[in-house]
Amino acid sequence: MPLATRPSSLSEPDRVEFVLSNFEQALKDHGLDVVWSKATLCPNRDPTQPGHERLSCALCDENGWVYFDPQPIRVLAMSHALRQMFMPESRYEPGTAYVTAQAEHKLSFFDKLELTESKARFYQVVPVEGVTYRLKYKVLEIVHIIKNDGTTIEPKAVLVNADGSITFGDTPDAEFLSISYTHRPVYIVQDILHYIRDRRQTEAGSDVLREFPNQAMVKLDFLVRDESAD
C-alpha cells in the first residue's frame, strides 16, 4: 500500500502524488501514539546571546524552550533505512527518525513528541542530596545504580513513585550516583521536510486549497543538547 504514486501524465515525471487514503490507513494500522507538545522560546532567554545564558532557569531546565498544549496524537514513523529507498541522498544522524502526522497536527521546529507506549534506557549521574530524586525523565523501572566508590545499590530497594520520581530508604552513603533506568522516549523536531505542503484541487466544482500531511525529522532530545557527553 504505497503512500505516494507517480502521476500517469508524462509531462511531470518527477512529481509524486500523495495518496491520503493510504496514509490514513497506514496511520491506523501502524502508527505510534505520542504526546505532542508545542514549543515556544523561554522568556528568560537573553536575546543578546546565541544560547540560553541565564543559568539555573527552572522554567525551561536551561534548554531555552518552554512547552505547552500537550495533546495525544498518532504519527507514522519511518526508519532512516526505509527512507533511503525513496530518497538516496537522505542524510543520517544518530538518534533520528522521520515521522508524519495528520495535516491538522502542524508540527513545527523544536516541538516535542513523547512516545506513550515504547520504552528506552537512559542513564545519568546525580549528586547525593536526600532520599527522593526527580530525574530527567519519569522513571518506569530502575535497571542499575552504582555509587562513586564502585559499590552498587539493589534496584529493588528503591521505590519508583507514581509521579516518576524515585525514593531510597535512607540517604545513600555516597557523593554521586550513576542511575540507569527505563523511560518513555522523547524526540524533538529538527526539520520539516516541506514546511508548507498545500495543494490546490477541484472539489465539487470548487477550487480549494487542501493541506496534506507533512514529514518531520525528529531527534532524541538528549542528543539535541548532546547530554550523552555529560
Quickly state the pLDDT bin for 81 (edges 50, 70, 90): very low
Instruction: Specify the higher pLDDT residue, 48 or 179.
Output: 179
For the question of whether the overall pTM of this predicted structure is more than 0.95, the answer is: no
CB atoms within 10 A of CB 68: 8
pLDDT of residue 180: 98
Evaluated on CA atoms 96, 101, 107, 112, the torsion sign reads negative
pLDDT class of 80 with cuts at 50, 70, 90: very low
Tell which wins on pLDDT, 210 or 40. Answer: 40
Give the closest residue to 124 by CA, choosing from 94, 140, 141, 144.
144
For 153-185, give one letter per residue: b (16+ CB within 10 A) or e: bebeebebeeeeebebeeebebeebebebebbb
Domain ranges across the chain: 13-117+185-229, 120-183
Average pLDDT over residues 163-183: 97
Least confident stretch, 124-128, 139-143, 205-209: 205-209
pLDDT at position 214 = 84
Lowest mean pLDDT of 13-17, 74-78, 100-104, 204-208, name the range: 13-17
For the beta sheet containing 159-160, the strands, ordered from the edge strand earlier in sequence to the opposite edge, are 132-133, 166-167, 159-160
pLDDT at 55: 56
Tell me, what's the pLDDT at 157?
94
Give per-residue pLDDT as tens, 130-143.
999 999 999 999 99
Average pLDDT, stretch 213-217?
Answer: 88
Is 86 a residue whose pLDDT tops 90? no
Mean pLDDT of 119-140: 96
Least confident span in 105-109, 152-156, 198-202, 222-226: 198-202
The predicted model gives 19-43 an average pLDDT of: 87
